[in-house]
Each structure stands twice: as structure tokens, then as C-alpha cells.
Structure 1
Amino acid sequence: MVSLKDIAKACQVSVATVSKALNDHNDISAETKERIRQVAKDMGYFPNSAAKALKTNRTYNIGVLFVDEARSGLTHNYFSHVLDSFKQTAEQQGYDMTFINCCKTRPNRMTYLEHARYRGFDGVVIACIDFNDPEVIELVKSNIPVVTIDHLFHNRIAIMSDNAKGMEDLFSYVYERGHRKIAYIHGADSAVTQSRLSTFYRMAEQKGLSIPDAYIKEAAYRNADEAYERTRELLALEDRPTCILYQDDFASFGGIKAIRQAGLKIPQDISVAGYDGIRIAYQLEPQLTTLKQDTDSIGRLAAEQLISLIEEPKTTLIRPYIVEGYVEKGQSVRDINHT
């Protein structure tokens, strides 16, 4: 391993001069800095991360706590794009990312907080997990800087997709196209689900619609099999809906399968709409109508605010940030106003 002493010898300067040059001190000329840095690079020198951490009290490493019910991991269509945006922004500011081990069946495992402290994370981003888990709450209440995605804790920064506005816009679009018999297959109970479902009912009330209990079904997020079964139940109703809203785009694929197996066409016989705006939804025929979430902004904001909290804790404002999406109209919701 190349040391500062080796570089000093090669450059015929003192170790102190090498250190000042590599740390961009003002009392070293730009020419000397450039020469020393080039020699260090040519010799394959990299600063010792442990020594750097002792000096700066930072590891430049951010922990990621991420688990979803479907165990889809980084194939999760929505959160994979959020985390990719987070990663790009964090790396541009010199930070690495490490996933916190979430395997609770492993013997002698550490809690989330213990793992975060063991790794010396400067901060942690938390996404897509059971936010009521005592270990999650313990981590959030610790002195480690934390930013959550799509969940709000008291006195913590949260980056939230505007689920109420998203459902409001999606419902309004379907209504404007003449649909009055609107069903909703929502996800499992969570803050996101509660926001969307309450908005669904509020919009129906504002439009003067009475939603039968049979029109409201539950299926886990990203579970196409459950969405398939719930769709079959809706299609079997004597007075079936003209449009079905799904909890997410991925789950809607199961519903679309059930509709086609029943010999029905989309949108001629029945309309469907998803939520998220994942890329594969754009490849469907007909293209899926959906609420496109701004995953780039969500990930970027989460990284920017967490790094601000790490580097400027006294001046960083602790508050939720709300990110709006928009309706991707697609072709899966028929206009039935003139039929």
C-alpha cells in the first residue's frame, strides 16, 4: 500500500507538504498540488477510509433500509427507480451506499440500529418497510440522521409522493370520461393505502357517486395473483363496474389477465387504470392509463435532504417534502360519454 511517505520521497518534498496538497490547503501552490496529486494517482494511492473517518468524523457511507412484503428486492419497479435516483445523487456528492441486513432469521443478528452504528453510517434512508416495526422506530428515534420515503414520522424529514392528489387526479380523469361505476382494488393497510382510499371515497362523494361495498377489494401491492382473483370477483357481479382502478401497475397485469380470460376487451368492454407509471406499463397494448409517480425527484430529494442533515444539521429544516405525479392517459380508459 502506497503511503504519504512514499509520495513525499518520489516528489522530493516533506510528508507535511504531501498531506497539505492532497487536502487542498491554501498554503501550497496550485502547481505543486497538481504535481503531487498526479504522482499520487500514478502510484495508486488512495486515502485510508478509516483514517479519513477519524479525521472528519464521517465515513461518507449511507445506510439503506429497504424491505418489501413481496420480497422483490431491487426488482421492485417503483422503489428500484427511487433508489437509483438516490444513489446517483449521493454518489455525486461523494457518498457510498450500503444496505442494512434485514434477515431476521439469521442467528445473532444485529438490530437495524446496531448494524447502522457498527457500520458507522453517516445517515440512513428508510423505504418500503413495516414502519411500525419496533426496530425501525428505534432507529428513527436514535441520533443517526434519518430520512424516510412515503412515511411520516414526527420530527423527521420525509419525502412523500402526493398520494391524495394522485388519486384525486386519476379519479377525476376516469369520471370525466363518463365512468360512474368505478371499482378500486387497493393495497394492504398502510399510510399510502389510507391516503389513496380515503381520497377515492371523498372524490366519489364530491361527484355524487354511491360506491357499492362490493366494488372495493383488497390485494397486496405488487401481487398480480391476488389482483387476478379480486378482478374475477368484480367481473362476476351482476352490476359490474365499467372501470377498475388497481393498487399499482404491476398488480394490474393480473387484473388484465382475468379480464381477457373472461373474453372481454380493454377498453371496449371494461376500462382499467394502474398507479406508479412503471416502464413496462408503457409497452402494454393498449397502453395502461396510470398515475405516474416522479421517482427521480423523490430519490434525488431524499439524498439531498439526508446529506444536508448530515453536513449541516443545525440549519437543515425538518419537514415533509411532497412530490406530485401526473396522469399518464394511455389508452386503457374508454370515453363512454357518447355511447
Structure 2
Amino acid sequence: MVSLKDIAKKCGVSTATVSKALNDQKDIGESTKARIRETAKEMGYFPNSAARALKTKRSYSLGVLFEEEAGSGLKHEYFSSVLNGFKTQAESQGYDITFLNTSFEKRKMSYYEHCKYRNFDGVAIVCADYHDPQVMELMDSNLPEVTIDYIHYNCTAVCSNNVKGMEDLVRYVYSRGHRRIAYIHGQTNSYVTKDRLASFYRVCEELKLDVPEEYVRTAAYLETKGTAVQTRELFELDDPPTCILYPDDTSLIGGRNVIIESGRKIPDDISIAGYDGILMSQLLHPKITTISQNMDEIGREAARRLITAIENPKTTFIERVVIEGTLLPGQSVGDAPKT
């Protein structure tokens, strides 16, 4: 491995001069800096990460907590896109990322202990059980942290604009003549659900729409069995809806399958809409009406905010950063059937 001493010898300068040149210090002339940098490049020099950490008191390593309960893991397009955006932005600013776990060298440790063991500069909590004591311990700690779609007093949160997204979706469905709109939402303990559900009721109230209690139901995000059951029950009502909104594009598949199996046609007999804007939603026929979340930007902004908190702690606020989504009007929502 090429050392500072090797570069100094070749350039005929001191090791201290090489160090100052590579760190762009002002007391070294520009021509000398350029010559030393070019020599270092030709010799294949890479700065020692341990030495840099010792000098800067940072590891340039970020932890990522990702515990996705539906079982899709990194195969799910929403999370993989968010994580890819986070990774790309972090790497562009000189940081590596490592996933957190609770087992290492055959012994158990908490998420917080893992962070301390790995000397992470900060942590991104992308998906987790936020009621887990270990997750709560991590969020309550003094580590710089950012959360995705979850609000905590001690962490900056980066969220999609779920309030505006749901409003746009309901108003679009309303514009197509639908007045009997059902909403199968995700888990009620989720901030995402709370925002979307409140927005759904608020817009329906503004539009003077009656929303029977049996029109609003619960099914897990990213899972099709629950939405299949709820869709069947909606069809059994005396006055069934003409349009059903689903928790996300993946769980919508459960309802879609029930609709097709029952002999109904989309959107002639029933209109449906999802949420997320994943690629699959735009490949299905008919194309799904949905809200496209800017997943890559959510991840990138989370990385930017986390690194800012690490590098400028004295001027960093704990904030809720909202990323706008976009309505994608597909063919799965048609004009409401005339009665």
C-alpha cells in the first residue's frame, strides 16, 4: 500500500507537505498541490480510512435499519427505490452504508449497541416496528437519525405528501362521477395511514359525500389476502361502492383478483385505485390509477438530511420534510355506472 512517506520521497518534499497538499490546506502553493496530487494518483494512493476517522472523528459510515414485516424485503419496489436513492446520495457525499442487525459474532446486541460497535456516524430508519423497545431506544438516543414516513420527536422525518396524495386521488375519482367510494387502508398505527385516512374523510366532507362506516376497512400494506377478504365483503353490502381505494399497488392485486373471479369488469362494473406508482401498476391491464411517490427523492433527501445533521450538528433542526407525489390517472378508474 502506498503511504504518504512514499509520495513525499518521490516528490522530494516532507510527509507533512504531502498531508497538507492532499487535505487542500492553504499554506501550500497550488502548483505544489497539483504535483503532489498527480503523483499520488499515479502511484495509486488511497487515504487510510482509519487515519481519516482518527483525524475527523467520523467513520463516514451510516447505519440503515430495515425490518419489513410483510416479507417482501428488498424485493419490494417502494423500499428498494428509497434505499437505492439513499445509497446513491450517501456514496456521492463520501459515506458507506451498512444494514443494522441484532446478532454479531454469535452474541445478541441491541440496534443501538450495534451502532456504537460499528461506530456509525448516523442512522436511517427506513422501515421498522416503531413500538419495539430496541427501535425506541435507538430513536431516543443521541445519534443523528432520520426516519422515513414516521414522526418522532428526536428524529428528522422524510415523508411523502400523503395528505395531498389522498386528496388528489379522491377528487379525481369524484370527477369521474363516483359518489360511493370505499377505502381499504393500511394498519391504523401507521403515520402514513393516519395522514391518508384523515385526508380521505376531510375531502369527502368537503365534497359532501356520505361515507358509511362499512365503506372504510383495514388490511395490511403490501399484502393481498386482507384486501381480497375486504373486497368480497364490500360486494356483499346492500349498497356496494362504485370505486374502491386500496392501501397500495401491491395489496390492490388481492382485490383485483376477487373482482376478476366474480366476473366483474374493471372499470365498467367497478373502479379501483392504488397508491405508490410502482412499475407493476403501470404494466397491468387496465393500467392502475395511483399516486406515484417520488421514492428515489425520498431516499436521497433522507441521506442529505442525515449527513447535514452529522456534519453541521449545531445548525441542524429536527424537521418533517415532505416530498410531493404525482397522480397517475390510469384506466382502472372509469366513469361511475349510471343507476
TM-score range, shorter chain: over 0.9
Equivalent position of 2:234 in the other structure: 234
- Are the equivalent residues in 1 in contact too, given 2:103–2:109 (CA < 8 A)? no
How far 1:36 sits from its partner (Å)?
Answer: 2.2
Say if 1:219 and 1:94 are closer, same or farther in 2 by CA, change over 3 A. same
Does the C-alpha gap of structure 1 residues 256 and 102 become closer, same or farther in structure 2, counting only changes over 3 Å?
farther
Tell me if the contact between 1:291 and 1:325 (Cα under 8 Å) persists in the aligned partners. Answer: yes
With over 3 angstroms needed to count, the CA separation of the structure-2 counterparts of 1:69 and 1:102, relative to structure 1, is: farther
Q: Which is further off, 328-337 or 280-289?
A: 328-337
Deviations 1:143-183 (A, max 9, x none): 11111111111143111222122212211111121111111
Deviation at 1:326, TM superposition (A): 2.5
The equivalent of 2:159 in structure 1 is 160
In 2, the alpha carbon distance for the partners of 1:194 and 1:48 equals: 47
Give 1:178-217 correspondences, 5 Å limit. Answer: 178-189=177-188, 190-217=190-217
Q: Which residue of 2 aligns with 1:100?
A: 100
Q: Do the aligned residues in 2 keep the contact of 1:166 with 1:291 (CA within 8 Å)? A: yes
For the Cα contact (< 8 Å) 1:243–1:270, is it kept in 2?
Answer: yes
Letter in 2 for 1:197: L
CA distance in 1, matches of 2:69, 2:320: 24
* Stretch deviating more after TM superposition (44-53 or 195-204): 195-204
Q: Residue in 1 aligned with 2:56?
A: 56
2:144 — aligned with what? 145
Amino acid at match of 2:139: V
Aligned-CA RMSD value: 2.0
CA-to-partner distance for each residue in 1:229-278, whole Å, 9 max, x for gaps?
Answer: 32222233343211110000111122112111111111111100001111
Q: Paired residue for 1:15?
A: 15
Q: CA deviation at 1:321?
A: 1.4
> 1:205-246 CA distances to partner (integer Å, 9 max, x unpaired)?
333333233322221110023222322222333432111100
Segments of structure 2 that go 5 or more residues without pairing to the other structure are none
TM-score (normalizing by structure 1):
0.93
Residue number in structure 2 paired with 1:128: 127
Q: Secondary structure at the match of 1:314?
A: helix
Match of residue 114 from structure 1: 113
User: 1:89, 1:304 within 8 Å by CA — same for their partners in 2?
Assistant: yes
Q: Could you tell me which residue of structure 2 aligns to residue 249 of structure 1?
A: 249
AA at the equivalent of 2:251: A
- Counterpart amino acid of residue 10 in structure 1: K
Runs of 4+ residues over 6 Å off in structure 1: none
CA contact (8 A) 2:242 2:336 kept: no
Counterpart position of 1:302 = 302
2:117, 2:265 → 1: CA distance?
56
Residue identity matched to 1:108: R
Q: Which moved more, 1:294-303 or 1:176-185?
A: 294-303
SS at match of 2:177: coil
Paired with 1:102 and 1:320, the residues of 2 have a C-alpha distance of 28
Normalised to the residue count of structure 2, the TM-score between the two structures is: 0.93
Q: Which amino acid aligns with 2:74?
A: L
Code of the aligned partner of 2:194: Q
- Secondary structure of the residue aligned to 2:125 is strand
Give the deviation of 1:338 after TM superposition.
6.7
Unaligned segments of structure 1, at least 5 residues: none
The CA distance in 2 between the partners of 1:296 and 1:108, in whole Å, is 35
* Distance in 1 between residues matched to 2:233 and 2:157, nearest whole Å: 37
